Structure 1
Amino acid sequence: MRISGRSALGPTFICICLLISGIVAAAVGTTPRAFGQTASSDQPTVPAPAQAGGVPSQKTSASVNTEAITRDLNQELGLDLNAKTADWRQHLDRLESDLRRPHLRYSELNAYREELQRVRAEIKELANRVPTRLDANKAQLNLLGPAPAAGQPPEPEQIAHNRAELNYRLGLLSAAEAAAKSTDLRIDHLFNTIEDIRRRNFASILLQPIPGVYAYETWSRLPDYIPTALERLRDLVDGWWEGVPDRQEIARIGLEASLLFLVLSFAGWRGVRSLRRWQGEGEPPFWRRASSAAGVVLLRASPVAVPVVFAYAMLATEQRLPDRLDWLFYLTAEMAVIIFTVAALVTTTLAPRARAWRLIPVSDAGAARLCGLIILLAFVYGLTTLLYAITRLVQAPFALTIAVALPSSLLVAGLVVAILRTPVRSENPAAPSMRLFRTVRTVVWTIVAAIVACALAGYLPLARFLAQQLVVTGSILALVYLLLLWVDGFAQSVTDDNAVAGGWLKQRAHLERSRREQLALPLSLLLKLAVLVLSVPFIMLQWGYTWPDIQDWYRQLFFGFHIGNTPVTFGALLASIIVFGLGYAAARLFQGWLDVQVLQPAGISGGVRHSIRTGVGYVGILIAALAAVSYAGFNLSSLAIVAGAFSIGIGFGLQNLVNNFVSGLILLAERPIRVGDLVVVGGEEGYVRKISVRSTEIETFDRAHVLIPNASFVSDKVKNWTLRNSVRRVAISIGTAYACNPRQVREVLLKVARSNPDVLHTPEPVVDLREFGASSLNFILYVFIDHISKTVRVRTDLSMAIFDAFAEAGIEIPFTQTDVNIRNIDRLHQLIADYAAQQQEESPQTSRRRFAKRPAVAD
């Protein structure tokens, strides 16, 4: 079995789960309900809320009008603290008593939760009003100063009276705040109690076997039950139809829905052809396939989904359908939306007839087989869900419900097995995605086996629940996976010049491909995080949670909860990160616009342009950081404490980093070096390529990139060849023989220098007779060139021209040589002659001795 490494979950798992939003809507409407359970009586003791209007703990002067203070405070808060806290306490006492009753139904638990939500909203409203008044009250007390200690002269009567009133008001506000916190904790406890009851009810229903699943009496009466159920259904529809006052209106709704179907079908046919058009070479890239897939799915699903939803909405609005008939029409419309939406999705994703537009790499036979099986699975799921609901609507006998639930669970399991056994291919079987794919296959096989075992063992609620979760939860995960694929395609389009996003960023924002690749990574991660966060509620709905539960958790997650006295707000932190990212991106876009539209047309040099760009970037980052910190809820005035702690850290371990940072700012402000300058610092010589926050990048003549700390350019000696201009002096040393005329040598050198087109005439070339050397007269030719980059070429050209000119003029260039002088040359001649005569005398005798020693040779 083979599958492409691009698919993170594997095509088979995607195809198993590919039942998108229609099925999600169906599952939301068919979330398992709890029917009864006894509440637990062992509840922890929660302290009762304090009396907001009670007498505070402070000692109150008899002259203080407590009733007037209480009345004024109630008017400011817009409620009666005593009455409101008493009402809260009564509500919570009643709810605690009700939750101890046995056999609580799902609707009752929802009603209790809504009541708790209402009380919590009132508590939150009061909690938002009290802190500001508490702070103002404390500030007024601070202005009065501390009360006189014992033994000191008493304070004036008016000040003492004001202090007593403020203390009493402070006590009221503190009591109200304590009451709100205590009541809120009590509500949390009641929420947990409701959730415990729900979970126990849910588990008891799922794990309860159905008696008589295989009994003869259950199945023998089915032929009688089916006509009865159909008769009740027909009576339900006929009763509504006979009572319709205006049947022409229903005909008009049907005609409008038919016209809408024809118009959307034609628009979808034209739109799909337009989106699937590719004029480039080869197959369309992945980003093109992913970006067009969303539009193709919408165009293919709309011709059926939109008219069906339109017809149902018009009937429900205009005809005022009875509750049971309204539920029947809703389920029918839902089934149609499910089937055609799934068909549009799988035919677009697998593209059995258009291999070039296939998002998941499977073979043509495998794509066709998977499309058929998945559409059949959607049809079976939608139809069985509708039939199961009809048995409830017409109050059919329980045997008929069993006759629907048992075969439907086994049929769903069989279709999933057929999908699992569909052969697919993979280009890299050892890829990490294949290991994940095998794990997913194992999980799916386990669920299928559990469905079959539970159905055959009589646990039909559990079998139906597992089948529903396999289809619905799997479809949500498949949709999430497809959205992640779309995000990957969008990220690729950002880096591609031929895509709309990439072309716009290149032309408008002037971002090169490398910058766009850097931008694509955080953008794709942010979009993937958003997809995952938004998909979690739909998965939670399938496991028994309700929208109020999910909303409350997300509200706590994104709008803050408390750990002790410390508020934690992940939403604000995430939003601040987004604000910083947007601010940083805006600063980079402004940098590009400023460079292209302002600095370059103004003729500003490259070094100055770079300094301005860098400075604007630092300012933009600072503004983005301050905006992010402020958006996160931090008080900017408290940054002084952070700055103090930061200064201590600088003193101990960050002084070098800060030194380099400040030095970088000095370099940008004073500009002793600029990008493109040729500098010598720290034993390194090269061109300045980049001045960053901490260091400066230098490219040497060997094409090596050296990072030098910015502090070295401020504290050490720096040679900058191009600080003021690019003119450079070139010195060429040359030696001539002593026999040469020095004036002739100077004329020849000046002639050679003046004949070179790269040598400047102002300043003029100069010849310097530097010294009388051991074996030569040493001259130095000084010339000036207009740009330092020509140094090597001009030095080489001048040296070769000097060599040719000296050869033509007969000027000798000496090389290093050593002369040896012998004082008694005649004595040396006599010794050589005596040695030669001695050798001639010894030659005949030596020859005879050598012949005598030669051995005889036998004949």
Structure 2
Amino acid sequence: MTRLLAAGFAAFLLIVTVFGALAQDTAEPEAERPPAYVVKDDGSPDYAAWEQAANRAEQAIEQNRASDKVLDDLRLELTDWRNLFSEAQKENSIRIDTLKMQLSTLGPEPETPGSEPAVLTQRRSELTTKLNSARLPVQEAEEAYSRADVLIREIDALMRSRQTDQMLALGPSPVNLALWPKAFTDLKTTLDLAVGEVRENWGSDAQRQDLRSDLPLTLLFLVVAILLLTRSRVWIMQLGNKVRERRRGSARGVIGFIVSIGQVLAPMFGIFVLMVALNLAGVLGLRGQVIADVLPWFGFSLFSSLWIGTRLFATESGGAPLIDLPRAALRTEARVNVALLGMLLGIWPILTSLSDHEGYAGGTFAVLSFPAIVATGYLLMRVGRTLRQHIQVQSDGETKTFRERAVVLMGQACAVVGIAAPVLAAIGYTTLASSILFPMVLTMGMIAVLSLLHVFLINVYGVVRKIDEKEADQALLPVLMTSVLVLLSLPILALIWGVRPTELSELWTTFQQGFQLGEARVTPRSFMIFALIFGIGYVATRATQSALRSSILPKTRLDKGGQNAIAVGVGYLGIFLAAVIAITTAGIDLSSIAIIAGALSVGIGFGLQTIVSNFVSGIILLIERPISEGDWIEVGGQMGYVRDISVRATRIETFDRTDVILPNSDLVSGVVTNYTRGNSIGRVIIPVGVAYGSDTRRIEAILLEIAENHPMVTVSPPPSVVFQGFGADSLDFEIRAILSDVNFMLSVKSEINHEIAKRFVEEGIEIPFAQRDIWLRNPEALVGRPEVKAPAATTEAVSPAASPPKDMLTAEDMPGAESSDAEDGDSDD
């Protein structure tokens, strides 16, 4: 359990670290600030101050001359006002609900004035006046909330428009050779100034004095930083290999993943130690500090890419590659490409930070950034080719599964972006090129991290369930957990692709408001309360059912069918009560949608009338209990034992051990034969035929004796033997006996028939079989057949199941022959 907790904490730490690093350029942490709204002494909104703020915002939007920073501040102010108005809408809610309830008790207002007592009319008027007075501040807050919401949406639209214009702006082309001298001159000036700042700081007497006093600590930090940056990854990989060798199965993957995280954390710690050493030395100037501020992102990007490449292409001993390639050289090349992509991704913020600090012209920035864009695009194309090679190895060039198609699509996207970005930058769309190129690299990194986390979750599941890797890979729970991680990563992907944090916060605000269902509003909070209460009620209901089935009902005198009916009824009642209590607790008012539900129920009733009929029939079966579990029934030509009675259908197990699902409506409206209803006593009828000339009284006595001697035949009432009549081939008798358990009818029949055959042989009683006489009407047709001596009738007793001999003439061989049944072998010719 400790290992699992450590694994979960490590995964959580990795996600938080990745998300925090990816979002650092997009959202700066906000300091605590006082709210921008103004309230009166009684806590209600100051609508005069709000009017001024709203007019100021409308003017800024109309003029469209305010900077982005001013618009962001204005949006924050409007957001504070909107939150205030949202809370003000809840004012007097209890009093308003009370007044509404009081008005509803008075009934609807009569159409004809004066048709009701004056006392009721006066009371209705007083309650209406109070209700309107209580609603007034709420209506003011609703109107102000709508205005604030519209202004916020207009500011968001204006900011998106500006962002789009900046992205699509055509700037200087970096392939214009006239811009190169100026760009190189600006870069040389920056480097000279940076070196000059270092020399100036180094030459300061005060700085040298501080350096001498902090020299031991500075040297210690510097040595530790160098060791962590250069050797920590190798040490952690060696440690991981040793730890993995001691584990088997899924535990190897779990331990290997946890240890491998140190390949990122240890070098990152080394970068922070290096920054502390540089700050103690005090040699960094303004430009050096600009680079140092972005240095953690550079280190994280570089070491994360190294970790991703190592995990994807498995350089660790015994590791199975997540992306398989046919040759080791290709795997090494792929790891190098991923590492270089991470390095370029870390260099880009350094370049943009220096450009902003130095105020480079558009041409200078275009020239300096063009090599990074070209190199990144080239490496991204190679990564796309690697993905396609992986699919070719896995599926022999035929993409069949969703995963394979998704990987091929990602490879194609990498190739397209890798080609398009440098082309756009060469034309002059540098901002557009960087806006699609580097987010694509970050997106691929995010997908890689999610894939590695998915493998880690599969291994954790295998360790918890103690199953092998293949079985854990087919489990559903790791897929669901990965799906949750994917959903959590969507906001980060939105930030990567340029969505502003304020837009995400606005989306979250809209999500928190929920949706309108009639006059009821369903919010995430109310839904979570509903799900929690209903879940508790559902679990309690199932626990009660289990207690009834196993502990309480078996101790009563109810039969099995009655016990099942009570348990099922308690289940339906419990789920219904759980739903009602959950809806009430969550505050969801469904009375406003009663008309809509009534209208929908008509259409649903026509479409689901069969299901509803079966449902009602199931309730009738559970209440009236004409059949119960374990009964032997026959309905609609199907015979078997009732094994389960549900709301929609009943399951019957036939004697062939097959399950037949019968709709409950067939059991209620059809003819059902229940052989074991109430008790298992039933009658068996065994027919017996004897040859003509037998002593009928003796036959009756023998059959009666056989029936009475069988242990399953009841004594009261006793069995009986009936002489049914004279059959075509035999004298027909029937044994009619009541069995103590009719479920053994077939076995009793078989045992009695065996005894009858034995006794009849001992008594010399013949059991006849059918005989047939053939009469030849035209014997002259047999001329030319020497085996027939004379045209005479021949009689041959043949068993119906036996085939005639080859030398015997059949009726089909004799033209004009007719057959007729004769009794006791007598001929009619």
TM over 0.5: yes
CA distance in structure 1 between the partners assigned to 2:239 and 2:658 by the alignment = 58
Alignment of 1:29 with 2:24, yes or no, is yes
CA distance in structure 1 between the partners assigned to 2:724 and 2:55 by the alignment = 112
Alignment of 1:467 with 2:432, yes or no, is no
User: Normalising to structure 2: TM-score of the pair?
Assistant: 0.71
CA distance in structure 2 between the partners assigned to 1:450 and 1:109 by the alignment = 33
- After superposition, the C-alpha distances for 1:35-82 in whole angstroms (9 at most, x for unaligned) are xxxxxxxxxxxxxxxxxxxxxxxxxxxxxxxxxxxxxx987xx3356x
Task: State the secondary structure of the residue aligned to 2:721.
Answer: strand
CA distance in structure 1 between the partners assigned to 2:334 and 2:538 by the alignment = 43
CA distance in structure 1 between the partners assigned to 2:758 and 2:54 by the alignment = 110
Alignment of 1:412 with 2:376, yes or no, is yes
Q: Which residue of structure 2 aligns with residue 453 of structure 1?
A: 423
CA distance in structure 1 between the partners assigned to 2:165 and 2:600 by the alignment = 58
Task: State the secondary structure of the residue aligned to 1:663.
Answer: helix
Alignment of 1:228 with 2:169, yes or no, is no
CA deviation after TM superposition for structure 1 residue 648, in Å: 5.8
Q: Which residue of structure 2 aligns with residue 510 of structure 1?
A: none
Task: State the secondary structure of the residue aligned to 2:157.
Answer: helix
Q: Which residue of structure 2 aligns with residue 719 of structure 1?
A: 673
Cα distance change, pair 588–442 in 1 and its aligned pair in 2 (3 A): farther
- 8 Å CA contact 1:225, 1:396 repeated in 2: no
Q: Which residue of structure 2 aligns with residue 444 of structure 1?
A: 414
Deviates more, 1:633-642 or 1:613-622: 633-642
CA deviation after TM superposition for structure 1 residue 378, in Å: 1.2
Cα distance change, pair 134–597 in 1 and its aligned pair in 2 (3 A): closer
Q: Which residue of structure 2 aligns with residue 815 of structure 1?
A: 769
- 8 Å CA contact 1:148, 1:154 repeated in 2: no
Q: Which residue of structure 2 aligns with residue 62 of structure 1?
A: none
Q: Which residue of structure 1 aligns with residue 827 of structure 2?
A: none
Cα distance change, pair 100–778 in 1 and its aligned pair in 2 (3 A): closer
CA deviation after TM superposition for structure 1 residue 794, in Å: 3.5
Q: Which residue of structure 2 aligns with residue 614 of structure 1?
A: 568
Alignment of 1:348 with 2:343, yes or no, is no
Cα distance change, pair 819–114 in 1 and its aligned pair in 2 (3 A): closer
| 1:267-306 to 2 correspondences below 5 Å | 279=248, 295=258, 298=261, 300-305=263-268
Q: Which residue of structure 2 aligns with residue 379 of structure 1?
A: 343
CA deviation after TM superposition for structure 1 residue 545, in Å: 2.7
- 8 Å CA contact 2:688, 2:732 repeated in 1: yes
Alignment of 1:708 with 2:653, yes or no, is no
- After superposition, the C-alpha distances for 1:366-388 in whole angstroms (9 at most, x for unaligned) are 44432332123112322343354
| 1:209-228 to 2 correspondences below 5 Å | 209-210=171-172, 214=177, 215-221=179-185, 222-228=187-193
CA deviation after TM superposition for structure 1 residue 450, in Å: 2.0
CA distance in structure 2 between the partners assigned to 1:584 and 1:362 by the alignment = 53
Q: Give, as a single letter, the amino acid of the residue that structure 1 aligns with 2:467.
A: N
CA distance in structure 2 between the partners assigned to 1:203 and 1:32 by the alignment = 19
Q: Which residue of structure 1 aligns with residue 499 of structure 2?
A: 545
| 1:165-244 to 2 correspondences below 5 Å | 167=129, 173-206=134-167, 207-210=169-172, 214=177, 215-221=179-185, 222-232=187-197
Q: Which residue of structure 2 aligns with residue 111 of structure 1?
A: 73
CA distance in structure 2 between the partners assigned to 1:31 and 1:99 by the alignment = 24
Q: Which residue of structure 1 aligns with residue 56 of structure 2?
A: 94
| 1:250-649 to 2 correspondences below 5 Å | 279=248, 295=258, 298=261, 300-305=263-268, 328-353=291-316, 357-363=320-326, 365=328, 366-390=330-354, 392=356, 401=365, 404-422=368-386, 423-424=389-390, 425-427=393-395, 429-431=398-400, 433=402, 434-480=404-450, 498=467, 527=481, 530-560=484-514, 569=522, 571=524, 575=528, 579=532, 582=535, 586=539, 590=543, 594=547, 598=551, 607=561, 610-611=564-565, 614-626=568-580, 629-630=583-584, 633-635=587-589
- 8 Å CA contact 1:312, 1:329 repeated in 2: yes
Cα distance change, pair 220–338 in 1 and its aligned pair in 2 (3 A): closer
Higher relative contact order (CA 8 A, sep 6+): 1
**Paired-residue identity, %:** 25
Task: State the secondary structure of the residue aligned to 1:29.
Answer: coil
- 8 Å CA contact 1:20, 1:476 repeated in 2: no
- After superposition, the C-alpha distances for 1:97-144 in whole angstroms (9 at most, x for unaligned) are 344556533322221111111111221121121544445566678899
Q: Give, as a single letter, the amino acid of the residue that structure 2 aligns with 1:622.
A: F
- After superposition, the C-alpha distances for 1:743-770 in whole angstroms (9 at most, x for unaligned) are 65456446655776x7457568734133
Deviates more, 1:216-225 or 1:485-494: 485-494
- Residue of structure 1 aligned with 2:82, choices 120, 124, 136: 120
Cα distance change, pair 390–663 in 1 and its aligned pair in 2 (3 A): same
Task: State the secondary structure of the residue aligned to 2:148.
Answer: helix
Task: State the secondary structure of the residue aligned to 1:724.
Answer: coil
- 8 Å CA contact 2:529, 2:582 repeated in 1: yes
CA distance in structure 1 between the partners assigned to 2:649 and 2:106 by the alignment = 56
- 8 Å CA contact 1:660, 1:709 repeated in 2: yes
CA deviation after TM superposition for structure 1 residue 343, in Å: 3.0
CA deviation after TM superposition for structure 1 residue 200, in Å: 3.4
Task: State the secondary structure of the residue aligned to 2:678.
Answer: coil
The alignment's C-alpha RMSD in Å is: 5.6
Deviates more, 1:136-145 or 1:182-191: 136-145
Cα distance change, pair 267–529 in 1 and its aligned pair in 2 (3 A): closer
CA distance in structure 2 between the partners assigned to 1:439 and 1:184 by the alignment = 45
Task: State the secondary structure of the residue aligned to 1:699.
Answer: strand
| 1:723-738 to 2 correspondences below 5 Å | 723-737=677-691
- 8 Å CA contact 1:297, 1:345 repeated in 2: no
CA deviation after TM superposition for structure 1 residue 806, in Å: 1.3
- After superposition, the C-alpha distances for 1:310-339 in whole angstroms (9 at most, x for unaligned) are 99899999x9x9999887555322332333
CA distance in structure 2 between the partners assigned to 1:224 and 1:324 by the alignment = 11
- 8 Å CA contact 1:760, 1:784 repeated in 2: yes
- 8 Å CA contact 2:640, 2:654 repeated in 1: yes
CA distance in structure 2 between the partners assigned to 1:316 and 1:616 by the alignment = 72
- After superposition, the C-alpha distances for 1:223-249 in whole angstroms (9 at most, x for unaligned) are 454233344467689999977997888
- After superposition, the C-alpha distances for 1:7-48 in whole angstroms (9 at most, x for unaligned) are xxxxxxxxxxxx987665444233499xxxxxxxxxxxxxxx
- 8 Å CA contact 1:377, 1:415 repeated in 2: yes
- 8 Å CA contact 1:342, 1:378 repeated in 2: yes
CA distance in structure 1 between the partners assigned to 2:443 and 2:171 by the alignment = 24
Alignment gaps of 5+ in structure 1: 1-18, 34-72, 504-516, 822-834, 837-859
Alignment gaps of 5+ in structure 2: 1-13, 29-38, 776-788, 791-829
CA distance in structure 1 between the partners assigned to 2:610 and 2:302 by the alignment = 66
Q: Which residue of structure 1 aligns with residue 3 of structure 2?
A: none
| 1:690-839 to 2 correspondences below 5 Å | 690-703=644-657, 705-737=659-691, 739-742=693-696, 744-746=698-700, 748-749=702-703, 752=706, 759=712, 766-774=719-727, 776-782=730-736, 787-817=741-771
CA distance in structure 2 between the partners assigned to 1:277 and 1:595 by the alignment = 50
CA distance in structure 1 between the partners assigned to 2:607 and 2:552 by the alignment = 39
- After superposition, the C-alpha distances for 1:777-797 in whole angstroms (9 at most, x for unaligned) are 433334566655543334223
- 8 Å CA contact 1:678, 1:688 repeated in 2: yes
Deviates more, 1:676-685 or 1:356-365: 356-365
CA deviation after TM superposition for structure 1 residue 413, in Å: 1.1
Deviates more, 1:137-146 or 1:371-380: 137-146
- 8 Å CA contact 2:689, 2:730 repeated in 1: yes
Task: State the secondary structure of the residue aligned to 1:814.
Answer: coil
Q: Which residue of structure 1 aligns with residue 816 of structure 2?
A: none
- After superposition, the C-alpha distances for 1:701-730 in whole angstroms (9 at most, x for unaligned) are 355543333244345443222333445443
Task: State the secondary structure of the residue aligned to 2:89.
Answer: helix
CA distance in structure 2 between the partners assigned to 1:227 and 1:645 by the alignment = 80
Cα distance change, pair 217–653 in 1 and its aligned pair in 2 (3 A): closer
User: Normalising to structure 1: TM-score of the pair?
Assistant: 0.69
CA distance in structure 1 between the partners assigned to 2:641 and 2:115 by the alignment = 78
